[in-house]
Structure 1
Amino acid sequence: MRRVSTLFLKIAVIFIGLPVLALCIFLVPEIGNITAKLLPEFSYVKYLVSIDFYAAAIPFYFALYQAFKLLSYIDKNKAFSELSVKALMKIKYCAITISILHMLVLPLFYLFADKDDAPGVVFIGLVVPFASMVIAVFAAVLQRLLQEAINIKSENDLTI
């Protein structure tokens, strides 16, 4: 039963990566073009926006890879190991990096909201940084709990 659930989660991790790949291929260039039209006096901003979004995709896929590795550790009965703690630590740092990179683009969401008179756009721009920080906090809590469980396990192994 456990292998079935981890297999399901591995497939889910793969399917989580597909929409982001589609966004990188189709939506990021369009966002860059919209930014260039929005700020014609700063034409180089188009490239900065594209670089920022593509740079945020790198830690995203690295975090997905770490989640895949974590599920593999669970399959191999190595869930309570230092490898799992390191994977969670890397996921936490990836989430923080994604949040910081998307915060750099927030002023453009403000400019777009100001030009289009749509204040809700700023809140849409806050979704990804907020979700990334939630994931970072969750990974940090899991990392700490897992480290404490490993410490308790090693103490029990020493007493026997």
Structure 2
Amino acid sequence: MNVKRGSTTFLKVIIFLIGIAVLAACIFLLPEAARRDAIERPGDYSLYPLLVCTYGICITFSVALYQIFKLLTYIEKNNAFSELSLQSLKIIKKCTFTVIFFILLAIVYLRVHAQFTGDDAAGPISLGLMGILATSIIAAIVDVFQKPIKNVMDSQPKNN
């Protein structure tokens, strides 16, 4: 096993473990939090929009993890500069913008909800803004990776 294959295998294992953690959160933690909230405050459905945003983020994040896994497979097979890699990077970039959209929806909801309830939503909103910053950095990194692949793809002669 050479170094490149060992490092991509390590990254694949990490991606798989992160995927398991996200799946466990979606199956066990989030429904339990919703159940506890329903018991504490019957008839109050204010948590549901946040749950929708959270599940949207989890699903989008899972799609991005799968595309990263595929990208690592392409790298293992020496197809790093291929159309398939470019497609995976495009999907990952779209996933980052979708996550940002869901975070923005949650921030808007928290702000509106805080207006009506008198709660202070500064903490959750600041966490959301930090999430947007981190996701934006990932989108920028993906864009940086896309450019050399596009350049290589454009410089290769077309086989007609």
**TM-score normalized with structure 2 length:** 0.78
RMSD: 3.1
Structure 2 portions without partners, runs of 5+: none
**Residues 141-156 of structure 1: pairs in structure 2 closer than 5 A:** 141-152=144-155, 154=156
Q: Give the counterpart of 1:135 among 133, 138, 147.
A: 138
Do the aligned partners of residues 32 and 133 (structure 1) sit closer, same or farther apart at CA in structure 2, a change above 3 Å counting? farther
1:140 Cα offset (Å): 1.7
1:53 corresponds in structure 2 to 54
Q: CA deviation at 1:149?
A: 2.4
Aligned length: 153
In structure 2, how many angstroms separate the alpha carbons of the residues matched to 1:9 and 1:74? 12
Using the alignment, how far apart are the partners of 2:92 and 2:121 within structure 1? Answer: 34
Q: Deviations over 1:69-119 (max 9, x none)?
A: 00000111111101000100000001100110111011344439x62x574
1: CA distance, partners of 2:52 / 2:20: 19
Distance in structure 1 (CA, Å) of the matches to 2:131 and 2:15: 18
Asked if 1:123 corresponds to 2:126, the answer is yes
Is it true that 1:3 corresponds to 2:41 in the alignment? no
1:122 corresponds to which letter in structure 2?
I
Provide the C-alpha distance between the structure 1 equivalents of 2:132 and 2:24, rounded to a whole number of angstroms. 20
SS at match of 1:104: helix
Higher alpha-carbon deviation: 123-132 or 87-96: 123-132
Seq. identity, %: 37
Structure 1 gap segments, 5+ residues each: none
TM-score (structure 1 length as normaliser): 0.78
- Aligned partners of 2:134 and 2:47: how far apart in 1? 25
